[in-house]
Amino acid sequence: MEPSVVFFSGLTASDVWFLTEAAFRTLLISVLSISMGTAIGIFCGWLLYEGKIFATLTLAPILDVFRSVPLIIQLVLFYNMAPILGLNLDPFASGTVILTIYTAALVANVARGGFEAVGLPIRRAARSLGMTYFQDLRYVVLPIGGRAVFPAWIGVALGVMKDSALVSVLGYVELLKASQILITRTQQPFVVLAIAGAFYFALSYPVSRYAAKLEKRWAQ
């Protein structure tokens, strides 16, 4: 018998399906956390940009904590402390909460950079046309600033998607946790991790390709 056949024999088609389902869970928790975290992060970035002293003194240190403490520590602490606060959250909910806050903390600074990228002269031009503060924000600042920091945001989003693997420590069966389960059973870490890696790549690559395409179009 060929050695390679022996090498793959432990894995079945249902295992690959198991990994596919886990990849969907990775996708689910990532999409939820990134979208909510981005929305909160843009709001925080706006507070940092506009609130000046108040936000610098209050919000900025809080965001710094979430940016500085390793994600795995945040996850374990929150998951174990949530019941003390009267919250009975399953691993998925806990992971989503922490990933969302973590994303928001990262996006806040990116967003602030975006707001700052739109110069005062262009905002004055918008206001001189009779736009309200929020019309200026919605139709001028967000599109222009958003494009300026879009590559940085994509970096954050792809990073958070990969970091979502850490939610596995809470027992949420996403890609990494599913891989660990399979490795334990099959004792074939190389193949299983290669497949898991391929799934991560398959999730990330289209996003970065699409982002590159968008950037190219905007550059015209």
Report the residue number, 40 or 149, with the smaller CB distance to other proteins: 149
Rounded to whole angstroms, the Cα distance separating 17 from 61 reads: 43
What's the closest the beta carbon of residue 146 comes to other proteins, in angstroms?
A: 9
Half-sphere exposure of 53 (CA within 13 A, CB side): 0
Q: How many residues form the binding site for other proteins (CB under 8 A)?
A: 19
Q: Give residues 97-136 in contact with other proteins (rule: CB under 8 A).
A: 121-122, 124-132, 135
Q: What is the dihedral of CA 170, 174, 180, 181, to 10 degrees?
A: 90
140 binds other proteins (CB under 8 A): yes
67 binds other proteins (CB under 8 A): no
144 binds other proteins (CB under 8 A): yes
Tokens matching residue 185: 């059973």
218 binds other proteins (CB under 8 A): yes
147 binds other proteins (CB under 8 A): yes
Using the contact rule CB under 8 A, the part of the chain among 44-52, 143-151, 176-184, 189-197 near other proteins is 143-151
What's the closest the beta carbon of residue 124 comes to other proteins, in angstroms?
A: 5
Tokens matching residue 213: 């395409």
160 binds other proteins (CB under 8 A): no
Hey, what amino acid is at 103? T
CB 165 within 8 A of CB 176: yes
Query: Which residue in 111, 94, 92 sits closest to 38, CA to CA?
Result: 111
215 binds other proteins (CB under 8 A): no
Rounded to whole angstroms, the Cα distance separating 141 from 102 reads: 24
Residues of the shown chain interacting with other proteins in the complex, contacts defined by CB under 8 A: 121-122, 124-132, 135, 139-140, 143-144, 147, 218, 220
